[in-house]
Amino acid sequence: MTPRKIVFSLLARDGQARLGRIDTPRGEIRTPAFMPVGTAGTVKALYMDQVRAAGADIILGNTYHLMLRPGAERLARLGGLHKFGGWQRPILTDSGGFQVMSLAKLRKITEEGVTFQSHIDGSKHLLTPERSMEIQALIGSDIRMVLDECVAWPCSEKDAERAMRLSLRWAERSKVAFGTPEEQALFGIVQGSTFRHLREISAQGLVDIGFDGYAVGGLAVGEGQAAMLETLDYTTPMLPEDRPRYLMGVGTPDDILKAVARGIDMFDCVMPTRSGRHGKVFTRFGPINIKNARHAEDPRPLDEQSSCPAASQYSRAYLHHLFKAQELLGQMLLSWANIAYYQELMAGIRASIAEGRFEDFYAETQEGWARGDIPAL
């Protein structure tokens, strides 16, 4: 059997924190990695060269949104998402399952798949494991995700088990439909809500099927950080050491730091750009709301030590003004600053694991956030 051209290497450990690298035909992905979310073929409010310059090795594309607009077949005719969106490095695509559950109208789940109406125009669609694999192939993603059912929280143990077992059957179908492409990878998704024995059944079932990586899904859906971390405490050790581990849809810088400490390698979240569009920026001093009146006459930048021009070269007073005047540039600058901060955080995490000082980095980062932003004199 021809070996896969997407290969994960575990380079170092510090406690449970892992330093690694995923080699792909489109370049390496340094882990722990944060993947900026390019929902509809764009990381909102940023140019792709800004995303790359900030330090991102990989972005995420959304199957649900892209299948509805512009359409998977159209994307394929136009050369795939890499060419279409101007991003030539790796792309991971989710399966569309979460958005079907959270956004679509009149959805109906059967063994075959999920039938739903588009939230955009009401058109009817059937998403099956096989169709999800086909769409992701047409998009041209480097890492595909199996189709799964993500239940809301709270949920009963009975409903969580039903969805988990359906997701396992869909995962097996996804694996068959995926085939054996040499230049793409397929990740399985562990489900089971916050029920330990269900997570164990899911993880073992996925390992038995065999995937290139394993994601922890069904978290960050309202259960709270404590329950999320408790679930990671027992789920992560169930996953193979020699495969990347991906926590889907997470999260805040604090969530990421604590999940890395529990052995997670990959993250994605809309939070950096969504927060930036609403005036919230993440810094080594913790989050700052630039709309607050105290910034109106503050000539300081957000952080003079940041490598990102949006954070180091524009005054808080100017950024505050942009939001008060509802100028689009404000949203662009804060989104840029947030993506850069997330990448700086990941770079710091990777360096600390390599040097065997992750525990110190963890404590120093938490202390910086706890001290908070110092008001202008």
Tens-place pLDDT, residues 49-88 = 999 999 999 999 999 999 999 999 999 999 999 999 999 9
Selecting among 94, 212, 265, 303, the annotated active-site residue is 94
Do 75 and 154 lie in one domain? The reply is yes
Q: Among the three residues 220, 248, 269, which one is the final residue of a domain in this structure?
A: 269
User: Is 359 a domain residue?
Assistant: yes
Q: Among the three residues 229, 244, 269, which one is the final residue of a domain in this structure?
A: 269
Predicted confidence (pLDDT) per residue in 169-195, tens digit? 999 999 999 999 989 999 999 999 999
Return the pLDDT at 309: 98
How many CB atoms within 10 Å of residue 336? 26
Do 349 and 230 lie in one domain? The reply is no
> Is 268 one of the annotated active-site residues of the chain?
yes
Q: Alpha-carbon torsion 91, 202, 151, 241, what sign? A: negative
Do 80 and 160 lie in one domain? The reply is yes
The domain of 286 spans 278-367
> Is 254 one of the annotated active-site residues of the chain?
no
Selecting among 57, 148, 268, 298, the annotated active-site residue is 268
Widest CA span in the chain: 67
Would you state the structure tokens that stand for residue 135, as one six-digit string? 């769409």
Predicted confidence (pLDDT) per residue in 199-230, tens digit? 999 999 999 999 999 999 999 999 999 999 99
Q: Is the peptide bond before 70 cis (omega within 30 degrees of 0)?
A: yes
347 Cβ contact partners less than 8 Å away, ≥ 6 residues apart: 55
Q: How far apart are CA 5 and CA 237, in angstroms?
A: 26
Q: How far apart are CA 158 and CA 208, in angstroms?
A: 23
Of the CA atoms within 13 Å of residue 89, those in its CB half-sphere come to 19
Of the CA atoms within 13 Å of residue 159, those in its CB half-sphere come to 11
